Amino acid sequence: MTDRNGDDIYGEKHKEANEPIFSGIPTFLKLPEVERDALDEENVDIGILGAPLDTATTIRPGTRYGPRAVRAASTVPSPPYEHFNIETGIDPFDTFSVADTGDAAVSPGDTRQSQLNIEDAVYEISEQATPIVIGGDHSISYPDIKGWAEANGYDDIGLIHFDCHADTGDEGLTGFEYDHGAWVKRVFDDDLMAGENYTLIGPRGFWPGPDTYEEMREADMKWYTSMDVGEMDLDDIVADAVQRATDGTDAVWVSFDVDVMEPAYAPGTGEPEPGGLVPREAIYMVREVVKALDPEDFGFDVVEVSPAYDTSDSSSYNGGVTSGLANRLIIEVMGSMALAEKGLESGDPIKPKEPLGPTEEAETPADD
């Protein structure tokens, strides 16, 4: 990767917002739309894909509108491509050329065919670029991972999974082996991933039951409950998950289900469960996890955004609270990929002249 500036990649659109949010085609961040078979020709490093499937969900539907809502949320405020993060000091668009590749073909009523179409679309992107996929229900992660792994010839992958649920059911929640509660088991049964290379962050509540967790323990899988996240040092959780995911593997996939969040902060999902992560925890862990991984052998999806249940979103014309979080996570992922690409722990954030906290002068009591 050559050292580039966003102006070199995107021209004046890197820093100038050239149209209001209600104008134009709402691609992700209003980035260029590139056909999937032309990513290499257009020198695209990261390909965004929508996977608008929700017929494998088992409770509240609506995630078929997730990709549209996340794209809409990404245009608020009307963005230039420049996204310099004031906390991490990095702009992913100074490093990567990113394009929106549209949506995978979905066949309403034919869940399995839709998943195979998603697999083909991710395969095509992964031959040329790093895939970032916007769901859709969580069943899409199996075809995401399978297409990505096959395109790159990965035999053993690591998986870091943020979720309220383990999704390791033999036949999901209702007897369908490809539903959104069974995709981890499908990846495991295909021998794409060993249990010791899997870490789940944020489970809580009442599903799956003890038998499934016993099987996970026997398979050497590991999990940190939502309460563990609240009580432990986040860096320790990140370090363990990364070490497990990279131990003897070819590549790492990170999957983020928005129901891992406390529903007060992310209500727009089909399976809300009280007691989840808060945004600062989620953003920090995603940043640190991705920063520690090789961006050349990496993939990411964010799933289960269901805008019908979101706040401040009645039409998906400009997104809601939950779709806004998903949008933010994607940008954070790309920023951490850029840091990893440059071999940096942090970028160059702009700091105040004075150190943070009270100054020595302020700490000295005034003379009587």
SS3 assignment for 262-304: CCCCCCCCCCCCCCCECHHHHHHHHHHHHHCCCCCCEEEEEEC
Task: Report the C-alpha gap between 168 and 20 in whole angstroms.
Answer: 44
Region 6-342: CATH code? 3.40.800.10
Of 175, 162, 200, which is closest to residue 302 (Cα–Cα)?
A: 162
Percent of the chain with pLDDT over 90: 76
pLDDT given for residue 364 in this prediction: 55
Our separate counts of H helices and E strands in the chain read: 11, 8
How many C-beta neighbours within 10 Å does residue 345 have?
10
Q: Which residue has the higher pLDDT, 361 or 67?
A: 67
Place of tokens 């990404």: 74
> Are residues 110 and 59 in contact, defined by beta-carbon separation less than 8 angstroms?
no
> Are residues 229 and 202 in contact, defined by beta-carbon separation less than 8 angstroms?
yes
Flag the least confident range among 57-61, 91-95, 139-143: 57-61
Residues 75-100: pLDDT tens digits? 887 789 999 999 999 999 999 999 99
**Residue ranges per structural domain of the chain:** 6-342
pLDDT grade for 365, boundaries at 50, 70 and 90: low
Strand 198-201 with 157-162, pairing: parallel
Q: What is the dihedral of CA 66, 72, 73, 75, to 10 degrees?
A: 150
pLDDT given for residue 35 in this prediction: 97
Please give the annotated binding residues for Mn(2+), written as ranges. 138, 163, 165, 167, 257, 259
Angle between helices 321-342 and 279-291 (to 10 degrees): 30
pLDDT grade for 2, boundaries at 50, 70 and 90: low
Tokens matching residue 246: 């990279």
255, 286, 293, 320, 344 from 301: Cα distances, Å: 5, 12, 15, 19, 24
Task: Report the C-alpha gap between 153 and 176 in whole angstroms.
Answer: 28
Mean pLDDT of 249-262: 98
Please give the annotated binding residues, written as ranges. 138, 163, 165, 167, 257, 259
Percent of the chain with pLDDT over 70: 94
Q: Which residues pair with 158 in a beta bridge?
A: 252
Flag the least confident range among 18-22, 50-54, 352-356: 18-22
Residue 177 half-sphere exposure toward CB, CA atoms < 13 A: 7
pLDDT grade for 316, boundaries at 50, 70 and 90: low
Flag the least confident range among 3-12, 48-57, 184-193, 358-367: 358-367
> Are residues 164 and 205 in contact, defined by beta-carbon separation less than 8 angstroms?
yes
This prediction has a pTM of 0.94
> Are residues 144 and 299 in contact, defined by beta-carbon separation less than 8 angstroms?
yes
204: pLDDT strictly greater than 60:
yes
Mean pLDDT of 286-300: 98
Flag the least confident range among 146-150, 255-259, 271-275: 271-275
Task: List all residues 6 or more positions away from 364 whose beta carbon is below 8 Å from its beta carbon.
Answer: none
